[in-house]
Structure 1
């Protein structure tokens, strides 16, 4: 048992499970491990292998049901992991509770089955993951009755589904929405708004509608960073990137209709965009009508709605010009998981430094600009500035002084 205990502690069981459910080479989905696994030690006499921590990163403390699963993510799982293929068109929210060998060598599997069952209040599928040899027939029977999946992990890292769950509907919260958001085309994880002016994204559906080749038109008239413009347009739900083509969304088609109404053709509209190259003037002042359209587009982005509402709340509480750390602290009290996903870089070192094992912020670390996620504090903030929503532009994390970086509404309500 000693060798099994040494190789199949809870962090290792969870790391093997993550590789099985959310493989590194998959290009869909998003998953976080609980912040307790970002600590240096697990068992009294064992540190957590750095390679295991690297596998489990990023970390967040996400409430699902009445507790915090060891692993929570969104992905269309392999067919052999589910009793049914899908529930609607969206990939399922998955919660995992893991258990490994302890110093005493025991594994209380049945108790973890009940913990996993509690997650079905908000998750579409819940699993127990444990060493295969520790899973009893009675635990499997209980899991089957409660619709909890059972994953048996062996010492070589193999993960076999002993029981597979049916997908169920659920109610969502801001906490689980944070993970769904990151797994969507509009999430900021592992991607970014590469450009910091909204005109580059608004121009993409115009170039896509133009009769000439999209990339050539965009590079010649608007911006050479065509890939960045396309990615940002997808984040803002202006286009839908398919393997074989880029399709305009309803919002993207509305941008085209606006251009046709104002200029008669997208070609004429793009000639005006060409005149705006390298302009640093606030877009809503430079081109007020386009600024109003920009405001509509960026407000449809889920993160914008949350930021504007909570900045209004801060204003009402007497913080007319909150700094970045003040904003993050305030948001974290109300929407902890969403705040971490939106503002904090996802790598293991940063989240381990910023979050304690209970997911609480270490306030002093917020003064370091390098802990922040560039797509939010630089590009998204710059777009909100150009849309006339915020008073100040964003800054690259390497040039960011959080204590002087102000996040304030340009037009707060009284």
Structure 2
């Protein structure tokens, strides 16, 4: 796509910037572009190149500070993009405002800098990205005064830091938590709980602690899908996956202590797991003590806490058996970014169907099971069922009828 001015438009600038800050081959971090960039057109007489749209996906409408940045994500940035060393152990939350040539041929770089500065209340680093030739000395001076990074983008897609920001230590409880969550080891983006029963994940720290080889003992006693068990155990913060080994977390060590207390050894506990193979009974009923431990583990998963709190509120509001579309619509009113990241598939086609340019839900789309994220509506829901939290199991999106899929608490209060 070439603009009327023959130069970079805002979507192009943003796409090049995303490639620089959040490269596709990086295995860390998470980033979304604002829903306005999922539109088919940008300038009056021009469409957005499908390649640009694909680069910018997934889309979400995330409030940061006083508004909605063009790009928001979490990742450890390259050293040349920052003025100081990294702040703390966690990767920074980054917000970007992009500016490109308009129909009139101008680029409002200063406005992008001021908009980026407004995001500093909740972001750790902010940038204004613009065509390199449009960045004036006065804009650079303003950016330095406001602690805003400036990225110069050229027509070939190169992105160079013109001004670099200092990291700030902001961390508040806002919609940005949804992006921090997705960037963590427990996020659901591009990953999945591939197994439906929590015993497969609880058994993994036992197998790690067992003196025999982890993969062999787990596949013999519990489940053959060892990789899926390890991934789910990491999501639930039972183990920490390192390049050279898998380490038990404090929560994983508690599972081992429980096994020692109840069975005398992890070997005996794993023998019991072997006896439960192919059982269809709710885990909390099959083994109440393991069920209580499962409840504790899944409650440590951030998405569980949010879901249970809001399902309780729905119950108090008189909706005791809410359907999946009702849950998502209700969550979107209160926690819009979380609702989208947790329930909606991340690909461009689904997000574009589900959200309009202002980030509002197209409610009719919620009746289509294909828009939902399997790790939430299938695997996570199944685990909440086995833990005794929900009344019904989950279902694969291909087999899901959202309007009859009930998300009800088994033991609501009041």
Q: TM above 0.5, one fold? A: yes
Moved more, 239-248 or 172-181: 172-181
Alignment of 1:15-414 (within 5 A): 15-414=15-414
- Tell me how far 1:111 sits from its aligned partner: 1.2
* Alpha carbons 2:4, 2:103 under 8 Å: kept: no
- Tell me how far 1:5 sits from its aligned partner: 3.8
Distance of 2:28 and 2:136 partners within structure 1: 33
- Taking structure 1 as the reference length, the TM-score comes to 0.99
- Tell me how far 1:112 sits from its aligned partner: 1.1
- Tell me how far 1:174 sits from its aligned partner: 3.3
Distance of 1:230 and 1:357 partners within structure 2: 38
Distance of 2:358 and 2:239 partners within structure 1: 39
- Tell me how far 1:173 sits from its aligned partner: 2.8
SS in 1 for 2:327: helix
- Tell me how far 1:217 sits from its aligned partner: 0.4
Change (3 A) 1:399 1:3: closer
Change (3 A) 1:335 1:3: closer
SS in 2 for 1:118: helix
SS in 1 for 2:175: helix
Distance of 1:121 and 1:405 partners within structure 2: 39
* Alpha carbons 2:3, 2:46 under 8 Å: kept: no
Distance of 2:330 and 2:106 partners within structure 1: 41
Moved more, 169-178 or 322-331: 169-178
Moved more, 173-182 or 360-369: 173-182
Distance of 2:160 and 2:3 partners within structure 1: 20
- Could you tell me which runs of 5 or more consecutive residues in structure 1 were left unpaired when the two chains were aligned: none
Distance of 1:285 and 1:337 partners within structure 2: 35
Distance of 1:85 and 1:315 partners within structure 2: 48
Change (3 A) 1:264 1:81: same
Distance of 1:51 and 1:281 partners within structure 2: 48
Change (3 A) 1:297 1:3: closer
Distance of 1:173 and 1:340 partners within structure 2: 17
SS in 2 for 1:174: coil
CA deviations over 1:51-90 (Å, ceiling 9, x no partner): 1000000000000001000000000000000011211000
CA deviations over 1:151-178 (Å, ceiling 9, x no partner): 0000000000000000001132331000
Count of residue pairs brought into register by the alignment: 413
CA deviations over 1:109-140 (Å, ceiling 9, x no partner): 11111100000000000000000000000000
- Tell me how far 1:108 sits from its aligned partner: 0.8
- Taking structure 2 as the reference length, the TM-score comes to 0.99
* Alpha carbons 2:150, 2:162 under 8 Å: kept: yes
CA deviations over 1:172-193 (Å, ceiling 9, x no partner): 2331000000000000000000
* Alpha carbons 1:122, 1:170 under 8 Å: kept: yes
Distance of 1:301 and 1:47 partners within structure 2: 41
